[in-house]
Structure 1
Amino acid sequence: MARAGTRGDSATKLHRGFSWLAVLGVLLVLAGIVGLVYTAVATLTSMLLFGWLLLIGGIVGLLHAVQARGTGFFWLGVIVAALNIAAGIVVIRLPHATAAALTMFAALLFLTAGFFRLVGGLVVRGPQLGWTLLLGAFDLLLGILVLGSWPSSSQYVIGAFISLALLFDGLGLVATGYGGRRIVGLVSEREQPGPA
């Protein structure tokens, strides 16, 4: 009897946990949609958040390095922490320039990935040749589009990418939460004893 009660409690906790997961997914989806509507604000916000994370991480790293003085880690920790602090200050003070630099970097990554996918697909000619060529062409086109309108594209590219990531992560969490609740419900129904 106590065992059945324990199972019921754990099923309730699982059900509640999956519900919170779905709620978090809905919040991420909403944040992604808002970010897609206001991509310039999303870009600026993400750059400032990135800068503050670098700065805080650098300060924490510096404190950790001070605690580890006398070891071989000390100078490496101080250098890495100083670089993080300096990068954080630069990003916070110049978020638009940082967004422009990251957009240029993303465009070059897309161009490089697209080129290597196309060439690699044509050389290897594996079973997924069509998909490889399609992805390579898509990466190449995306890189050309972003680079062609740079630096004005830096106002929306980073924000759009982050908003899309939030949107798809949120949809994944909603699906996981909803599916998990259904599975817990099905298992709970199956474990309930039938009428005597």
Structure 2
Amino acid sequence: MHRSLGLMTALGAILVLGGLVGLVYTGVATLTSMILFGWLLLIGGLVGLVQALQMRGSNFFWLGVVVAALNIAAGVVVIRHPDGTAEALTMFAALLFLTGGVFRLVGSVVVRGPQFGLTLVQGAFGLLIGVLILAEWPGSSLYVIGCFFSLALLFDGLGLIAMGIAGRRIVSLVSGVEDSEAPKPPESPTA
């Protein structure tokens, strides 16, 4: 158990390092994530096509072939044009932030629930991020996705490190309690 938790902590440290490097080189992180995304689409499409071919007799054969073909086509487009893909995904992210921000703002004012202030701040923050991304678009596509990707790596790594360290402490506490509560062998009588 200690070894598994140590590996979890080591993986977390690698993710933190990757996130920090990605935050320094956001353009490279954006292009890397787009190419990785393209390859995942391509490989997923090929696996889906093989699976569809294995199910030739089922009712879902053509649906499987169409979905696999779309994944393969999208993967090829993303790999060949990572800049354009980053621009499109950045626009999509900005629109998601805008619509989410507006819905949170309106929802917090209409509902006025117990989390009114927090929901209002979340809505305003989402709206602000969406406006800032759109104001610099398409130039913002060079760093937005890489920044988000790197922050995700950083926080996932920090979470793994925290779980690994806390898990090791818990295991050592539990093993210490078990050792002290373990029945002691009876003493052999001395003659």
Q: TM-score, normalised by structure 1?
A: 0.91
- The residue type paired with residue 29 of structure 2 is A
The residue that corresponds to 2:80 in the other structure is: 93
Match of 1:68 among 55, 58, 66: 55
Q: What does the per-residue CA deviation read over 1:8-63, in whole Å, with 9 as the maximum and x for residues that have no partner?
A: xxxxxx11111110000000000000000000000000000000000011011101
The residue that corresponds to 1:4 in the other structure is: none
The residue that corresponds to 1:7 in the other structure is: none
1:1-196 pair list within 5 angstroms: 14-193=1-180
Q: Secondary structure at the match of 1:177?
A: helix
Size of the aligned set, in residue pairs, is: 183
Sequence identity (%):
69
Q: Secondary structure at the match of 1:69?
A: coil
- CA distance in structure 2 between the partners assigned to 1:136 and 1:17 by the alignment: 40
- The residue type paired with residue 9 of structure 2 is A
- CA distance in structure 2 between the partners assigned to 1:193 and 1:70 by the alignment: 63
- The residue type paired with residue 125 of structure 1 is R
1:193 is displaced (CA, Å) by 3.4
RMSD: 1.1
- The residue type paired with residue 31 of structure 1 is G
Structure having the higher Rg:
2
Q: What does the per-residue CA deviation read over 1:109-136, in whole Å, with 9 as the maximum and x for residues that have no partner?
A: 0000000000000000001111001010
1:191 is displaced (CA, Å) by 1.1
- CA distance in structure 1 between the partners assigned to 2:72 and 2:29 by the alignment: 23
- CA distance in structure 1 between the partners assigned to 2:179 and 2:61 by the alignment: 59
The residue that corresponds to 1:10 in the other structure is: none
Q: Which runs of 4+ in 1 moved over 2 A?
A: 193-196
Q: TM-score, normalised by structure 2?
A: 0.94
- The residue type paired with residue 55 of structure 2 is A
- CA distance in structure 2 between the partners assigned to 1:67 and 1:188 by the alignment: 50
- The residue type paired with residue 113 of structure 2 is G
Q: Which runs of 5+ in 2 are unaligned?
A: 185-191
1:95 is displaced (CA, Å) by 0.3
